[in-house]
Structure 1
């Protein structure tokens, strides 16, 4: 009976935990590919690189001053980057996004699977958002309540500079994505799991009192 209670409690906590944080997945791989002609071409080349034998992947707690070397202690040349940020909104709103990157061969940004920015020039923001050609910008995106995905692809010949991804709700200032911002909204089945787990804990507790 005790094991059953612990299992039920674990189920409830798992359901709660899934709603506590945005998920920031940072992936890199090796690629010597050059400038691509379309946003989808960047996605295809980068996806192939990060899923290959040289690929690395990690879930970040913060997207601020991130690089291949600082995260994976890997090389600083011929790098393919993929960043996937899964976030949620409890109500509809208008949001802007920007990504300071070091993509010497350009890259692309997708929001919920749709291309929202695409550049083929040498991009190096260097910590400054004063030159629009050197970073990605998505302005005034009208987003519905629920879950969304921001995906950034890029290629770099050298030299693996620090990168940053930020968001801003209309009328508010930019802030970097962290595990504590814009947490995904639990799906209905997650609520059902939570309620079911809590109900099982309650049943076990009543039986123990009765015994």
Structure 2
């Protein structure tokens, strides 16, 4: 394999490596709800566009309660993702417009169940671009659980978590992330094999 081929292999591998690093970035703004426009004391809560209304939360719109991370109101557990979390209660919802290129993405988040209300489960739907990707049911007192799914989009779209249960159950949501799909290891192998084949062809040409 000549120097040009080796340089092409190195450049291609470097490009893929950099792409994988860039794609790991979270494309959701304020995914752990740590940037409200108001002060919320420990163990307290307020509503965005609802009763006990407070200010805004950077990146997000909708009607939902924001809570501090403590064993305070509604038995919300301490979240591993910062000082704040949101509740999906009844038919409340949160959403964010995402700036995405066309492609495949991974959505991940964590949820937990209300701990001081011994009623039924809270059900909520996860949607992207108006398409329901998943319907989740969170049991009373459920511990924090990691969730993830994959979706494909043609471009910019809206991410939404919307309650489906018309009673006083609550699903807590935190640590929301959207990342572009990273190439599988097989992609790298195929690239190296293809460039290796180019090297073989180049050597044969030199031999002739």
Q: Report the TM-score when normalising by structure 1.
A: 0.40
- Larger helix percent: 1
RCO higher in structure (CA 8 A, sep ≥6): 1
Q: Which has the larger radius of gyration?
A: 2
